[in-house]
A = this chain, B = another copy of it.
Amino acid sequence: MAFHETIQELPSLQGSSSFFDTGTVIALCVFFALLCVCIIIGHLLEENRWANESITALLLGLCAGVVVLLISKGKSSKILVFNEDLFFLYLLPPIIFNAGFQVKKKQFFKNFTTILMFGVFGTVISFCLASLGAFYLIKKIGVTSLQTKDYLAIGAIFSATDSVCTLQVLNQDETPFLYSVVFGEGVVNDATSIVLFNAVQTLDFNNVDTLTALKLVGNFLYLFVTSTLLGIVAGLLSAFIIKMLYFGRHSTDREVALVMIMAYLSYMLAELLNLSGILTIFFCGIVMSHYTWHNVTESSRRTTKHGFATISFIAETFIFLYVGMDALDIDKWKGSHASPGTYIAVSSTLLALVLIGRAAFVFPLANIKNFVKRRDSTRIEFRQQFIMWWAGLMRGAVTIALSYNQFSGSENTSPDSALMITCTIIVVLFSTVVFGSITKPLIETVMLRHAKPLTSDVTDNQSLEDLRILFLENGDPSDQGNGSSSNNQPAQRASSLRLLISNPTTTVHYFWRKFDDKFMRPVFGGRGFVPYVPSSPTGEADEAS
A85 to B4, CA, bound (A): 10
Give bound CA distance, A252 to B89, whole Å.
26
User: Is there an interface contact between A36 and B198, defined as CB atoms closer than 8 Å?
Assistant: no
Q: Are A274 and B39 in contact (CB under 8 A)?
A: no
Interface residue tally on A, bucketed by range:
35 or more
Collect the chain B residues with CB atoms within 8 Å of residue A307's CB: 256, 303, 306-307, 310
Q: Does A262 contact B (CB under 8 A)?
A: yes
A303:B314 contact, CB within 8 angstroms: no
The CA of A88 and the CA of B35, in the complex, are separated in Å by 21
The answer, yes or no, to whether A484 is at the interface (CB within 8 Å) is no
Q: Does A19 contact B (CB under 8 A)?
A: yes
Per-position binary interface string of chain A over residues 21-34, scored 1 when its CB falls under 8 Å from any chain B CB and 0 otherwise = 11011101100110
A180 to chain B, nearest CB (A): 21
Interchain CB contact under 8 A, A306 and B15: no
Binary B-proximity of A49-74 (CB < 8 A = 1, otherwise 0): 00000000000000000000000000
The prevalent SS among residues of A at the interface is: helix
A250-B43, A306-B252, A306-B256 known; A32-B314 Cβ under 8 A: no
A254 and B36 within 8 A (CB): no
Complex contact A405–B18 (CB within 8 A): yes
Selected from B29, B247, B272, B310, the residue in CB contact (under 8 A) with A15 is B272
Question: Which of A263-271, A340-348, A445-453, A520-528 touches B?
Answer: A263-271
Q: Which residues of B are found within 8 Å of A302, using beta-carbon distances?
A: 299, 302-303, 306
A16 within 8 Å of B by Cβ? Answer: yes
Question: Are the CB atoms of B247 and A28 closer together than 8 Å?
Answer: no
Collect the chain B residues with CB atoms within 8 Å of residue A15's CB.
272, 274
Also in contact, A268 and B29, with CB within 8 A (given A89-B20, A302-B302, A303-B302): yes
A39 with B257: CB separation less than 8 A: yes
Interface centre among A1, A15, A260, A268 (most CB of B within 10 A): A268
- Per the bound structure, the CA–CA distance linking A199 and B406 in Å amounts to 49
A472 within 8 A of B: no
Q: Does A203 lie at the interface of the complex (its beta carbon under 8 Å from any beta carbon of B)?
A: no
- Also in contact, A16 and B274, with CB within 8 A (given A265-B32, A545-B306): yes
Q: How far is the CA of A405 from the CA of B44 in the complex (A)?
A: 45
The answer to whether A360 has its CB under 8 Å from any CB of chain B is no
Interface residue? A40 (CB, 8 A): yes
- Residue in chain B with minimal CB distance to A401: B19
In the assembled complex, the Cα of A24 lies from the Cα of B1 at a distance in Å of 11
B residues in contact with A250, CB < 8 Å: 43, 46
Determine the residue in chain B with the shortest Cβ distance to A44: B245
Asked if A309 is at the interface (CB within 8 A of a chain B CB), the reply is yes
Cβ of A77 within 8 Å of any chain B Cβ, yes or no, is: no
Docked pose: A469 CA to B272 CA in angstroms: 68
A399 CB → nearest B CB, Å: 14
Bound CA–CA A32/B39 (angstroms): 30
Known: A4-B4, A261-B314. 10 other contacts (CB 8 A): A16-B202, A17-B271, A17-B272, A18-B197, A18-B201, A46-B250, A254-B313, A257-B310, A302-B302, A302-B303
- Can you list 5 residue pairs at the A/B interface with Cβ under 8 Å? A18-B201, A24-B89, A43-B251, A260-B310, A302-B302
